Amino acid sequence: MGHMINIGVIGYGYWGPNLVRNFMDLPGVQVRTVSDFKPELLAKAQSRYPTIQVTTNCKDIFADPKIDAVAIATPVSTHFDLALAALQAGKHVLVEKPMAVSSEQAMRLIEEAQKRKLVLMVDHTFVYTGAVRKMRELITTSVIGDIYYYDSVRVNLGLFQHDVNVIWDLAVHDLSIMDYLLARQPYAVSATGINHIPGEPENIAYLTLFFESNLIAHIHVNWLAPVKVRRTLIGGSQKMIVYDDLEPSEKVKIYDKGITVNSKNSESVYQMLIGYRAGDMWSPHLDMTEALRTEGLHFIRCIEQGERPITDGEAGLRVVRILEAATQSVKRQGRLVELDLERVAA
């Protein structure tokens, strides 16, 4: 076995403790230091993990030569400064989603990591779930056929964020899942949204993404919904998927449903026959390992083997570019905003 990988975690609010718990569980890995501004959160970390050092000054993490990698779980507006400082201190970085507040910042981080040959990974957590990995397998092995649409609803009551709108908070999950599943980029985005609390960011939004070859995606996100829904339909020419993340185990259901267009005998398009196929439904067995564990193992392997993460800086950038375009579109009540496909090609 190689040497122990030491991790510093910045931000111990809602999400940070999940990162710490998962890293502490991995073989050959230890969280050496946790940083947060709030001493009461640090006290919690320390009582749970007595071996961990704590500090209110994250510079202590950058300055510690024993720390190999830094995980950043602070508000989005702070990701860039913290990730850049970590890279400049020679640390590998795992940064929370969304990677940064602008594509310019994301590109700067990619450049810094490349220059220093450091791993830069974005926590697009869902990509590491058994459900999403199974759907990717079904898509890449042509079980689903040509993808016609991706249609997702991600709504619940709360947690209202103050520094980002609901698109940057929730749609980012769908965008990162789509980036992985479809491995294709939209050429244009149209988005609408509104805020119901004066001066606060949009709490409800609808995004439509246009892709070449008749693939369309729609994402509906909302912090002001009476019930929690996490449901995605993926329509394909061969099969259709219903992905319900709230289902305890049968999160992915594959329906052998669809249409066949039969125009053999028709003299005009009006006589085109649509046949409906309603076959079986099945739910594949899923790897139920916690996503952050799978992701943590992947991060460590990338550090040790010099591999490129699945959710690398480029993946983070592609998602941020769509978020930026959606934000522009919302400001103009859904005006189509085009994305430069050349620039986002990985």
Q: Which residues bind ligand NAD (CB under 6 A)?
A: 10-16, 35-38, 41, 58, 73-76, 78, 82, 96-97, 123, 125
Residue 233 Cβ vs ligand NAD, minimum distance, rounded to whole Å: 22
Nearer to ligand NAD, 215 or 310 (CB): 310
Burial label for 95, CB within 10 Å (0-12, 13-18, 19+), is: buried
Nearer to ligand NAD, 53 or 283 (CB): 53
Nearer to ligand NAD, 37 or 149 (CB): 37
Nearer to ligand NAD, 244 or 304 (CB): 244
Q: How far is CA 286 from CA 177, 236, 245, in A?
A: 16, 21, 12
Residue 270 Cβ vs ligand NAD, minimum distance, rounded to whole Å: 50
Residue 182 Cβ vs ligand NAD, minimum distance, rounded to whole Å: 20
Neighbours of 266 (CB within 10 A): 11
Burial label for 274, CB within 10 Å (0-12, 13-18, 19+), is: exposed
The Cα 20–Cα 7 span in angstroms is: 9
Nearer to ligand NAD, 123 or 314 (CB): 123
Nearer to ligand NAD, 129 or 190 (CB): 129
Residue 340 Cβ vs ligand NAD, minimum distance, rounded to whole Å: 26
Residue 114 Cβ vs ligand NAD, minimum distance, rounded to whole Å: 23
Nearer to ligand NAD, 83 or 182 (CB): 83
Which among 163, 230, 113, 200 is positioned nearest to 13, based on CA atoms? Answer: 163
Neighbours of 28 (CB within 10 A): 11
Residue 280 Cβ vs ligand NAD, minimum distance, rounded to whole Å: 33
Helices 172-182 and 313-331 pack at an angle, to 10 degrees, of 130
Residue whose Cβ sits closest to ligand NAD: 13
Burial label for 102, CB within 10 Å (0-12, 13-18, 19+), is: middle
Which among 22, 72, 76 is positioned nearest to 298, based on CA atoms? Answer: 22
Which residues, in sequence order, are bridge partners of residue 221? Answer: 154, 205
Nearer to ligand NAD, 35 or 203 (CB): 35
N- to C-terminal Cα distance for the chain?
33
Residue 61 Cβ vs ligand NAD, minimum distance, rounded to whole Å: 9
Nearer to ligand NAD, 55 or 283 (CB): 55
Burial label for 126, CB within 10 Å (0-12, 13-18, 19+), is: buried
Residue 159 Cβ vs ligand NAD, minimum distance, rounded to whole Å: 7
Residue 228 Cβ vs ligand NAD, minimum distance, rounded to whole Å: 14
| Spatial strand order in the sheet of 204-210 | 273-282, 252-262, 240-244, 224-236, 147-157, 216-222, 204-210, 188-194, 337-338
